[in-house]
Amino acid sequence: MEDVAYEVEDGLAWITIDRPERLNAFRARTVDELIASLKRAWADPTVGVVALTGAGERAFCVGGDQKQRSQSGDYGPSESGLFEVETLHRTIREIPKPVIAAVNGYAIGGGHVLHLLCDLSIAAEHAEFGQTGPRVGSFDAGFGTGYLARVVGEKRAREIWFLCRRYDAATAERWGLVNRVVPSAQLRAEVRRYADEILALAPTALRFLKASFNAETEHLAGVGQLAFSGLREFSDSDEAREGVSAFVEKRTPDFSRFRAQT
């Protein structure tokens, strides 16, 4: 693999997005490799817990690679020819083993959704959370909105999306976005402690519990499918291109001319 590192330590599989030069933003290849890694952990009987993290100390993941998007108009080539981010979301939910997000820095945009979908999130003290979709001409409905509202409440979820602010780890913990905040140097050890407690439990019971939790919000998959179909159409619009261009040019986007169309 080129974009993702995979290793197993005593029942715990570490899946690391290894693109620190892009703040672990994902392109289509990254998504393919994340799915393959999750399925590898799913199939491995020696693995009972999965940890998802990013390389380096700056970022967990900052979502889709906007530089790639500005260069090619998409997120680059994939094995299937499709951008499989919906499949990645479903795989995180469907793997019958607990997935822990080890948030080692920025969890922004699509990266924020990835940590949200994990069963547990443990964050370093310097981690930052937030959404950027409306700022870069994108959005993530379905799990990225509906499930977020289940976790933090409607008012806070709308604030996260409508204002595109950044939130520190202490705020994320207070809002219920993360389970625990620890010093950066202790993040990996804390994930290990959580994993060891989980590994001492009955795996079949955990599988049924995860499926039961997921059933409550499974309808959001259909909303997400609808939203991603709309996003593909929206991505070709002048409004979306303005968001991408502003990001690449490091300027504030001007969406004022599009308000009359809404």
110-117 and 85-94 helices cross at what angle (nearest 10)?
20
Residues in the chain: 262
Per-residue H/E/C for 166-199 = EEEHHHHHHHCCCCEEECHHHHHHHHHHHHHHHH
Contacts of residue 23, defined as CB under 8 A and 6 or more positions apart, other chains included, come to 54, 58, 59, 61, 62, 105, 106
Count of CB atoms situated within 10 Å of the CB of 165: 11
Q: Is residue 119 part of a domain?
A: yes
Instruction: Specify the number of domains making up the chain.
Output: 1
pLDDT at 262: 58
Q: Is residue 195 part of a domain?
A: no
Q: Is residue 256 part of a domain?
A: no
Say whether pLDDT at 74 is over 90: no
Tens digits of residue pLDDT in 82-105: 889 999 999 999 999 999 999 999
pLDDT at 261: 61
CATH number assigned to the domain comprising residue 57: 3.90.226.10
| pLDDT confidence tier of residue 234, bands split at 50, 70 and 90 | confident
pLDDT at 182: 98
- The residue range of the domain holding 142 is 4-184+205-213
| pLDDT confidence tier of residue 66, bands split at 50, 70 and 90 | confident
Q: Which of the two residues, 260 and 24, has the higher pLDDT score?
A: 24
Question: Looking at residues 159-186, what average pLDDT do you find?
Answer: 98
Question: Looking at residues 137-145, what average pLDDT do you find?
Answer: 86
Q: Is residue 147 part of a domain?
A: yes
pLDDT at 260: 75
pLDDT at 229: 83
pLDDT at 76: 86
Q: Is residue 260 part of a domain?
A: no
Q: Is residue 121 part of a domain?
A: yes
Q: Is residue 62 part of a domain?
A: yes
Q: Is residue 167 part of a domain?
A: yes
